[in-house]
């Protein structure tokens, strides 16, 4: 702007010096002044538009950064609230059951029932701790897998059967596994995929509903799907459910407890096995989680 003013003053002075010169020279200098001023204004306008564009983009970027930080902070708060309950609940339950065994003379059948219940609580606690440790390893890039060829059908059947026995579920679980499917997997980690998906289906499904587990080969791919008749997942949440700590709703009002780590771990492990995971609507209600691998 200063340069523009200086240019304008200089040209006006030149025009003033032309007094007494021919009208053509004065008109020529005047036109030159107008042209230079026009170019200067165009340049300043262009620079101003670029500056405003950068300013708006910067403000938008800062706003998005703050928004993401705020969301992460909320998710972490929810995680701390939920993890407190999730850790204390099985510990308190197992402690109560052991105290019952210690204080009372019970018959053998009742003892077995209480011991079995305590074992389920410790398994629940163990799964929770494993999820926390796995998420920490993923976050620090120290998690690794070692794949080996196996009878994938038998492997999945064993995981599902053991999971069904350990979960306190009130749904009907149907299983259809195509036999003799071969797939290289890391047996130590892959079970977390099935356990977390099945636990989610049980957690968010009403009593007496049906959960369907299918494993089959389709078009040269191995497809594992878990269908439930639960509350479903809103369209806007489907892209966020695999983020760490993300859970729908607010932890202080949510009835169903969890840590927000399960699907984060599932998504990571599926990718490590060169697979993809998708979530779809199960008509008329519920969700379908489909995990696909190249065989």
pLDDT recorded at residue 273: 93
- Cis link prior to 284 (omega < 30° from 0)? yes
pLDDT recorded at residue 252: 39
Q: Which of 278, 202, 205, 281 is nearest to 239 (CA)?
A: 278
pLDDT recorded at residue 227: 95
Band of the pLDDT at 225, cuts 50, 70, 90?
Answer: very high
Between 140 and 39, where is the model more confident? Answer: 140
Mean pLDDT score, 111-120: 87
Q: Which of 100, 129, 131, 105 is nearest to 117 (CA)?
A: 100
Instruction: Using CB atoms within 10 Å of the CB of residue 202, give its burial: 0 to 12 exposed, 13 to 18 middle, 19+ buried.
Output: buried
> How many Å apart are CA 137 and CA 188, to the nearest integer?
14
pLDDT above 90 for 246: no
| Crossing angle of helices 187-203 and 108-139, rounded to 10° | 110
The answer to whether residues 199 and 168 touch, using CB atoms and an 8 Å cutoff, is no
The answer to whether residues 293 and 221 touch, using CB atoms and an 8 Å cutoff, is yes
| Lowest-confidence pick of 120-124, 240-244, 254-258, 284-288 | 254-258
> How many Å apart are CA 76 and CA 271, to the nearest integer?
24
The answer to whether residues 15 and 29 touch, using CB atoms and an 8 Å cutoff, is yes
Between 135 and 254, where is the model more confident? Answer: 135
pLDDT above 70 for 56: yes
| β-strand partners of 150 | 183
> How many Å apart are CA 261 and CA 246, to the nearest integer?
8
The answer to whether residues 245 and 76 touch, using CB atoms and an 8 Å cutoff, is yes
pLDDT recorded at residue 67: 72
């Amino acid at each position: 702007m200063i340069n523009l003013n200086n240019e304008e003053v200089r040209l006006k002075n030149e025009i003033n010096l032309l007094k007494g010169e021919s009208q053509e020279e004065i008109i020529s200098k005047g036109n030159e002044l107008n042209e230079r001023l026009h170019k200067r204004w165009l340049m300043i306008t262009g620079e101003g538009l670029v500056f405003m564009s950068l300013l708006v983009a910067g403000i938008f970027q800062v706003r998005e950064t703050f928004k993401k930080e705020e969301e992460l902070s909320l998710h972490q708060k929810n995680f701390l609230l939920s993890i407190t309950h999730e850790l204390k609940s099985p510990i308190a339950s197992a402690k109560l059951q052991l105290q019952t065994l210690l204080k009372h003379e019970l018959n053998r059948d009742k003892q077995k029932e209480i011991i079995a219940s305590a074992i389920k609580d410790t398994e629940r606690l163990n799964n929770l701790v494993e999820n926390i440790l796995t998420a920490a390893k993923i976050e620090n890039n120290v998690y690794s897998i070692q794949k080996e060829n196996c009878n994938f059908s038998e492997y999945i059947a064993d995981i599902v059967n053991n999971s069904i026995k350990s979960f306190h579920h009130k749904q009907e679980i149907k299983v259809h596994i195509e036999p003799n499917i071969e797939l290289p997997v890391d047996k130590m980690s892959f079970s977390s995929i099935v356990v977390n998906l099945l636990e989610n289906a049980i957690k968010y499904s009403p009593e007496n509903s049906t959960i369907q587990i299918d494993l089959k080969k389709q078009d040269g791919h191995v497809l594992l799907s878990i269908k439930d008749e639960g509350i479903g997942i809103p369209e806007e949440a489907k892209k966020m459910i695999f983020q760490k700590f993300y859970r729908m709703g607010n932890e202080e009002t949510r009835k169903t407890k969890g840590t927000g780590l399960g699907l984060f771990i599932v998504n990571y492990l599926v990718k490590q096995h060169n697979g993809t995971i998708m979530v779809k609507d199960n008509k008329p209600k519920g969700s379908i989680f489909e995990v696909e691998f190249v065989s």
